[in-house]
């Protein structure tokens, strides 16, 4: 393996060649991001915590910008993922469920209770903070450190170079070339540990490996590996694995997260109608009940109109007052 030291980066010095490499990596990631703003993929995501049985989600995910639609089955025998009770250990025995994120509103259908839960959030990261196994958006799972908790993580483009978040005044940085197309950024924080991130120009500048080694008793070391594939001009994620180690024993794995993807399509445009509430509720049983966590109200879902009970009442009021034509009355 070729290991070429490009330069030692300090808080006051960075060579032109170092900066050029950093900019090439950032540009490659940004170029690819423009190619994967929407798409559809099949996914299989799991997380295993020491002492518990695996939690697993398997299904299909479509995205467009910050909107997402999930059709999935959930295996959660120890009720660790969503707090909605246990789900069978055999994922093929689990019921099919649905979730929609659109315009900062999250609609989550629970098949066991035949209920649709409605939430409102300030942004996508907040919306999926309690549903982190479902956060499969490229701008988080692909572009942020580190799974599975990515919403609070830093972008890889921020992690490379002198200004990586968390750097201390006495931190040292090094940029090394470990193969013709892979560059390793190393940051050593004397009191907090060492970060190593490998960026591959073969895969649009994306990270292929990341390791965080920290002092015992202070924090948990983490090891992440990514596998990518090309689809046309775009690079898409194929597999990801993250291992979190015990703070007491660097050789003992405390938690493992894996995400596997196949049949990913980023070339076919995803229509905006796919993320509409009216189309979403067509997937649900007619007698579904709505738990509106915004208004703290519960009401039947009137599938025939595509509107919840409260909206129907408003339409009835307008109709009685002559505000609607006969054709638009419910």
Domain assignment of residue 89, yes or no: yes
Residue range of the domain that includes 18:
4-274
Q: How far apart are the first and last CA of the chain?
A: 71
Regarding predicted confidence, which is higher, 323 or 75? Answer: 75
Q: Of the given ranges (1-10, 161-170, 280-289), which has the lowest mean pLDDT? A: 1-10
Mean pLDDT of 257-273: 95
Task: Quickly state the pLDDT bin for 237 (edges 50, 70, 90).
Answer: very high
Residue 168 lies in a domain: yes
Stretch 118-146: mean pLDDT, rounded?
82
How many domains are contained in the chain?
A: 1
246-250: list long-range contacts, CB under 8 Å, 24+ apart: 246/50, 246/220, 247/216, 247/217, 247/218, 247/219, 247/220, 248/216, 248/217, 250/213, 250/216, 250/221
CATH code of the domain in which 104 resides: 2.50.20
CA–CA separation, 225 and 146 (whole Å): 10
In a domain, 46, yes or no: yes
Q: What is the rounded average pLDDT for all residues in the chain? A: 83
- pLDDT tens per residue across span 154-185: 899 988 866 666 666 677 888 889 999 999 99
In DSSP terms, which residues pair with 209 in a beta bridge?
Answer: 198, 225
- For residue 72, tell me if it sits in a domain: yes
Confirm whether 130 is domain-assigned: yes
Residue 19's pLDDT is what? Answer: 83
Distance between CA atoms of 44 and 132, rounded to whole angstroms? 14
Domain membership flag for residue 218: yes
Q: When comparing pLDDT for 4 and 191, which is higher?
A: 191
Q: Using alpha carbons, list the distances in angstroms from residue 18 to 132, 169, 186, 194.
A: 35, 20, 13, 20
Model pLDDT for residues 28-63, shown as the tens digit of each residue: 999 999 999 999 999 999 999 998 999 999 999 999
Top-ranked range on mean pLDDT: pick from 83-92, 149-158, 246-255: 246-255
Residue 293 falls within a domain, yes or no? no
pLDDT score recorded for residue 127: 60
Does 327 map to a domain?
no
- State pLDDT tens for residues 189-236: 877 789 999 999 999 999 999 999 987 667 889 999 999 999 999 999
Question: Per this entry, what is the length of the chain?
Answer: 330
Looking at residues 95-122, what average pLDDT do you find? 92
Q: Residue 269 in contact with residue 288, Cβ under 8 Å?
A: no
Q: Which of 59-63, 130-134, 150-154 has the lowest average pLDDT?
A: 150-154
Residue 32: the pLDDT is 97
């Amino acid at each position: 393996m070729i290991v070429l030291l490009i330069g030692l980066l300090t808080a006051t010095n960075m060579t032109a060649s170092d900066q050029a490499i950093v900019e090439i990596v950032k540009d490659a990631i940004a170029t690819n991001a423009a190619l994967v703003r929407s798409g559809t993929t099949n996914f299989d995501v799991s997380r295993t915590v020491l002492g518990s049985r695996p939690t697993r989600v398997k299904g299909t995910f479509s995205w467009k910008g910050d909107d997402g639609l999930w059709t999935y089955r959930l295996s959660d025998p120890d009720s660790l993922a969503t707090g909605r009770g246990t789900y069978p250990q055999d994922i093929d025995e689990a019921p099919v469920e649905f979730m929609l994120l659109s315009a900062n509103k999250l609609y989550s259908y629970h098949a066991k209770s035949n209920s649709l839960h409605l939430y409102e959030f300030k942004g996508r990261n907040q919306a999926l903070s309690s549903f982190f196994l479902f956060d499969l958006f490229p701008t988080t799972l692909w572009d942020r450190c580190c799974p599975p908790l990515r919403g609070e993580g830093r972008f890889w483009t921020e992690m490379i170079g002198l200004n990586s978040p968390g750097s201390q005044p006495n931190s040292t940085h090094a940029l090394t070339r470990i193969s013709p197309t892979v560059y390793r950024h190393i940051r050593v924080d004397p009191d907090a540990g060492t970060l190593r991130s490998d960026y591959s120009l073969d895969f649009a500048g994306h990270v292929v490996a990341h390791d965080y080694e920290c002092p015992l008793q202070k924090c948990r070391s983490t090891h992440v590996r990514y596998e990518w594939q090309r689809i046309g001009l775009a690079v898409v994620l194929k597999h990801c694995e993250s291992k979190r180690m015990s703070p007491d024993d660097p050789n003992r794995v405390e938690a493992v997260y894996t995400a596997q993807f196949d049949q990913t399509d980023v070339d076919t445009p995803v229509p905006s109608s796919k993320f509409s509430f009216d189309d979403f509720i067509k997937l649900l049983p007619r007698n579904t009940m709505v738990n509106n966590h915004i208004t703290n109200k519960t009401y039947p879902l009137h599938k025939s109109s595509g509107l919840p009970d409260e909206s129907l009442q408003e339409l009835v009021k307008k109709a009685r007052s002559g505000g609607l034509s006969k054709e638009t009355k419910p």
